[in-house]
Amino acid sequence: MTTDESAFTGLPVPGATPPTALTIAGSDSGGGAGIQADLKTFLACGVHGMTALTAVTVQNSRGVADFLALPPELVAAQIRSVAADIGVGAAKTGMLASAEIIEAVIDACAASSIGRDGRTPLVVDPVAASMHGDSLLARDALAALRDQLLPIATLVTPNLDEVRLLTGLDVTSRSELRKAAEAVHELGPSWVLIKAGHLTEDPECVDLLFDGSRFIELPGPRMRIPHTHGGGDTLAASITSALARQAQPIDAVRFGKRYIMRAVADAYPLGAGVGPVSAFWRVSEQPI
């Protein structure tokens, strides 16, 4: 399998059906994270994006004021509907809001061959809170996410706050990332990508990939830019896009790291708070 970026992101061939990807996530009314970031990333990666909406948040650059979770059976029905008719090349989860939604998602994924034992890769971004600290997951839902969803994940992509919630480990330096990756891998996913964005004292941003035997460092410069809203979603969505193009997990993650570095470099101010990474930087660079 090639690691050539063009193999994962070619423009769609007119009239031909592009690869398909499904995001199971919440709506960010400010357009920086959630399904909005996922769809922009899928578009820029030449993938047909589909959505199973879990919740509607009232959100802007300053934080999340409120949210309404959708009925679990409606979330499951969206997944089953698109899987049965259109087909899902790869799927990702983001904000899942409640234990009941997590259980419904797991059932619908199993019925649709999505997840570890099915044919379709599943990326789990274990979203627990917004970058401003607003909760996006009920307290009693963490156990369902950890004990039921992680074991069916092809890849799980925790940030350091999520590592602490899932394992109790407090990572404060790059040297502690391996221990964290091992502890998350114990929870059952095939691959673990620990995101190092929160190690703000580190002059580099070195994420760590682990498959249970190999540690693979994904180096990158730390950019001094405050606008990183939606960074985790954009990374996971670009990885999902590459998986939808049948990339191997290691190649998909390498592609995702290149994608997020450009998205952070092109991040822009928006509103009075924190702006988003540029999920669609590739589109803005296309000549017309």
User: Under the rule (CB under 6 A), what is the footprint of ligand MP5?
Assistant: 25-28, 33-34, 57, 59, 94-95, 127, 130-131, 136, 229-230, 232-233
DSSP notation for the chain? ----THHHHPPPPTTSPPPEEEEEEEEETTSSSHHHHHHHHHHHTT-EEEEEEEEEEEEETTEEEEEEEPPHHHHHHHHHHHHHHT--SEEEE---BSHHHHHHHHHHHHHTTBSTTSSB-EEE----B-TTS-B-B-GGGHHHIIIIIGGG-SEE---HHHHHHHH-----SGGGHHHHHHHHHTTS-SEEEE--TT-TTSSB--EEEE-SS-EEEE--BPP--S--BTHHHHHHHHHHHHHHTT--HHHHHHHHHHHHHHHHHT----SSSPPBP-TTHHHHTS--
Residue 159 found at the interface with ligand ADP (CB under 6 A):
yes
Cβ nearer to ligand ADP, comparing 112 with 240: 240
Residue 194 found at the interface with ligand ADP (CB under 6 A):
no
Binds ligand ADP by CB under 6 A, chosen from 110, 143, 223, 283: 223
Residue 195 found at the interface with ligand ADP (CB under 6 A):
yes
Cβ nearer to ligand MP5, comparing 57 with 278: 57
Cβ nearer to ligand ADP, comparing 73 with 204: 204
Q: Which does 251 bind (CB under 5 to 8 A by kind): ligand ADP, ligand MP5, none?
A: none
Stretch that binds ligand ADP, among 21-29, 133-141, 166-174, 189-197 (CB under 6 A): 189-197
Q: Which does 118 bind (CB under 5 to 8 A by kind): ligand MP5, ligand ADP, none?
A: none
Is residue 24 within 8 A of residue 75, CB to CB? The reply is: yes
Provide the token pair at 104: 């419904």
Residue 171 found at the interface with ligand ADP (CB under 6 A):
no
Q: Which does 198 bind (CB under 5 to 8 A by kind): ligand ADP, ligand MP5, none?
A: ligand ADP
Q: Which does 166 bind (CB under 5 to 8 A by kind): ligand ADP, ligand MP5, none?
A: none
Tell me how far, at minimum, the Cβ of 134 lies from ligand MP5, in Å.
7
Residue 36 found at the interface with ligand ADP (CB under 6 A):
no
Binding footprint of ligand ADP on the chain (CB under 6 A): 159, 195-198, 205, 207, 220, 222-223, 225, 228, 231-232, 235, 257, 260, 264
